[in-house]
A and B are shown apart, each in its own frame.
Chain A
Amino acid sequence: MKHTQPKLIIRMRRFWFLYLLIVPILIYYGVMRYYPMFLQFVLAFKKYNLLGGVWGSKWVGWDNFTYIFAKDEFYQVLSNTVIISLLRLLFGFFPPIILAILLYDLQSTFIRRISQTILYIPHFFSWVVMYGLIFALFSNTGLINQIIQQFGGGVQNFLMAPEWFRPLIVSSAIWKEIGWGTIIYMAGLAMVDSTQYDAAKIDGAGPLRRIWHITLPGIRHVMVFLLTLSLGGVLSAGGEQILLFYNPATYSVGDIIDTYVYRQGLNELQYSMATAVSLFQSAIGLVLILVANAVSKRTAGTGIW
């Protein structure tokens, strides 16, 4: 100890101005990141009252949790969340992979360049703009209904119909992210050893065998990585999008944990109950990502960390 202490001070003195510069940043992390994290644990075990604030409220133990677990509404929300996440995964996982492989294999650099430029654009649109586009297409007076009517069909109320809600949010998310999703695979493909392709050519392998034996194995680790991430996020089903797309007519199929927490917490002012729900969400999310990571490490040899 005697030995290291003066050394530490000397080393720290060398960086004095850096410590000074990061003071506001440390305050930020403390107040805006760590304090809310701590508050979450406190609030979930208290009965928040608006007059007393967090510290003037009573501790109630697990009451908030027993309350939500006794509600049918909660299970509805939970199952909506899981179903929507799994639908997103099921239908959204493969399109970017297929598109990336096609783009990668394309011999026409002209088509590839133009397509790539255009395909990434929707990713940068806000969900508000996306909803505007969807509304223009699918509202009662929108483009799709105009087309249906020209063929003699009746108006379909896509935006208010529970049976159209999930297909609409899943497909619009695919539409928005398909191009962006190819980037990570393109990066993976760029690292595939190109001599393998030459060898395949000499062996007379066709395009499908080439994809199966060289291209897909080349991006396997990326696929596992993304799959692991999405399994960890199964309880976050895209609140920002759903908050825009849903309405009371589609709550039954569209209300997910994120939107439920928002409505119960900030509209109904049930701070404690909403916090308990989101604590439950983070706890399960953490367990899921740890399990998924362990599984992917064992089976594919790669994980997130």
Chain B
Amino acid sequence: MSERVYQWTAASIVVIITILSLVPLWYVISGSLVNEQEWMEKGGFILWPEKPTLIAYERLLAGTAFTQALLVSLIRTVLGTALTLSMTTIFAYAVSRKAMPWRKALLFAVLVTILFGGGLIPSYIVVRDLHMLNTIWALVIPSMVDSWSVLVLKQFFENLPEEMEESAKIDGAGEVRLMWAIMIPMAAPAMAAIGLFTAVGHWNAWFDSLIYIDNAQLHPLQLLIRNMFTNASLSVQQNLGQASYAMNAHNRVSIETLKMALVVFGTIPILCVYPFLQKHFTKGMYLGAVKG
């Protein structure tokens, strides 16, 4: 095979795979932008909305089930990310201090939790016995410190130039100042990356709320979407479905369109932070740590 033929084949395969990875999202976005009339006319076969409309989104935002779920998702994402990021940073810094006694033991304790977990039922029992069921704490406390991120960030702290530490000491900075004024600000890029990945994880999480939260009013968006699709909760569907009735045929949306709009809502924050995420993982920071 000549280089020319190879380049053409490679380019076509890459382009085809790229298009294929966009099609489902494209279809769902298109489907979320039509009214009931267009949906019926085309039998749901919509790759290009002729009269794009945002009614489905307006309807969702008008329903209490949806806005409540959105709020829960936002709260858990902000609270959970703040908690995880601060705790992970402090712990990573601690285990990166080579002179600190018991450092090795702490590091070993972290490694063990990467290899073994407590399993579903014991974790559930602990959360239950701490009376965290049906509270926001059940969604943020169990994942408060991420052991992988601790190792990644520890590696980052260790790779910072040693001269920084020495010159700080010469300037008379103690351990406290060294940490807050010098080392942690220098780790800002790594912390940003961990924060972004944590936030994405919180936004996407649904299983923990399935097991820890019975009260449907405290369900995050992802669980609401899941319940819509699996029909596990008909009341949710009715609650959202009612919003689809309107007098005017132009202002009506089918339940399928509503579902698609819901899926799109589930992806919007991800698509918004994606450019920032990409900056971090293309630098390979995460990968360096895998074998570090």
By a beta-carbon cutoff of 8 Å, the part of chain A in contact with chain B is 8, 11-12, 14-15, 17-18, 21-22, 24-25, 28-29, 31-37, 39-40, 43, 53-54, 99, 102-103, 105-108, 111-112, 114-122, 124-129, 131-137, 141-143, 146-147, 150, 175, 178-179, 183-184, 187, 190, 206-208, 225, 240, 243-244, 247, 258, 261-262, 265-266, 271, 274-275, 278-279, 282, 286, 289
B226 at the interface (CB under 8 A from A): yes
Nearest first, the 8 A-B pairs at minimum CB distance are A36-B118, A126-B204, A132-B263, A36-B122, A39-B122, A207-B6, A133-B24, A278-B119
A-B pairs under 8 A by CB, number: 254
Taking the closest CB of chain B, its distance from the CB of A269, in whole angstroms, is 10
Which of B43, B130, B229, B259 has the most chain A CB atoms closer than 10 A to its own CB? Answer: B229
Taking the closest CB of chain A, its distance from the CB of B168, in whole angstroms, is 14
CA gap between A187 and B285 in the complex, in Å: 10
CA gap between A37 and B112 in the complex, in Å: 10
CA gap between A210 and B204 in the complex, in Å: 41
Instruction: Find B14's partner among A39, A106, A207 (CB 8 Å cutoff).
Output: A106
Q: By the criterion CB–CB under 8 Å, are A106 and B10 in contact? A: yes
10 sampled A-B residue pairs with Cβ under 8 A:
A22-B94, A25-B90, A112-B14, A118-B22, A127-B204, A136-B27, A184-B290, A225-B291, A275-B119, A275-B121
Q: By the criterion CB–CB under 8 Å, are A118 and B122 in contact? A: no
Q: By the criterion CB–CB under 8 Å, are A36 and B281 in contact? A: no
B48 at the interface (CB under 8 A from A): no
Q: By the criterion CB–CB under 8 Å, are A131 and B21 in contact? A: no
B117 cross-chain contacts in A, Cβ below 8 A: 33, 36-37, 282
Taking the closest CB of chain B, its distance from the CB of A7, in whole angstroms, is 10
Chain B at the A interface: mostly helix, strand, loop or mixed?
helix
- Interface flags for B73-117 (1: CB within 8 Å of A; 0: not) read 000000000000001001101100101110000100110010111
CA gap between A126 and B210 in the complex, in Å: 15
- Pick out which of these stretches binds chain A: B158-166, B236-244, B245-253, B271-279: B271-279
Known: A103-B14, A119-B17. 10 other contacts (CB 8 A): A25-B87, A28-B144, A36-B123, A36-B125, A37-B122, A126-B205, A132-B262, A136-B31, A184-B287, A286-B116
B284 at the interface (CB under 8 A from A): yes
- Interface flags for B198-209 (1: CB within 8 Å of A; 0: not) read 001001111100
Instruction: Find A262's partner among B13, B43, B118, B120 (CB 8 Å cutoff).
Output: B120
Q: By the criterion CB–CB under 8 Å, are B21 and A118 in contact? A: yes
B167 cross-chain contacts in A, Cβ below 8 A: none
Q: By the criterion CB–CB under 8 Å, are B122 and A183 in contact? A: no
Instruction: Find B281's partner among A99, A183, A207 (CB 8 Å cutoff).
Output: A183
Q: A18-B100, A266-B120 are in contact. Are A32 and B266 (CB under 8 A)?
A: no
Q: A119-B21, A274-B121 are in contact. Are A105 and B6 (CB under 8 A)?
A: yes
B136 at the interface (CB under 8 A from A): no
Q: A28-B144, A106-B11, A265-B120 are in contact. Are A35 and B126 (CB under 8 A)?
A: yes
Instruction: Find B21's partner among A103, A122, A261 (CB 8 Å cutoff).
Output: A122
Q: By the criterion CB–CB under 8 Å, are B200 and A124 in contact? A: yes
CA gap between A21 and B15 in the complex, in Å: 51
Taking the closest CB of chain A, its distance from the CB of B167, in whole angstroms, is 18
Taking the closest CB of chain B, its distance from the CB of A276, in whole angstroms, is 10
Q: By the criterion CB–CB under 8 Å, are B118 and A33 in contact? A: yes
Which of A119, A124, A142, A175 has the most chain B CB atoms closer than 10 A to its own CB? Answer: A124
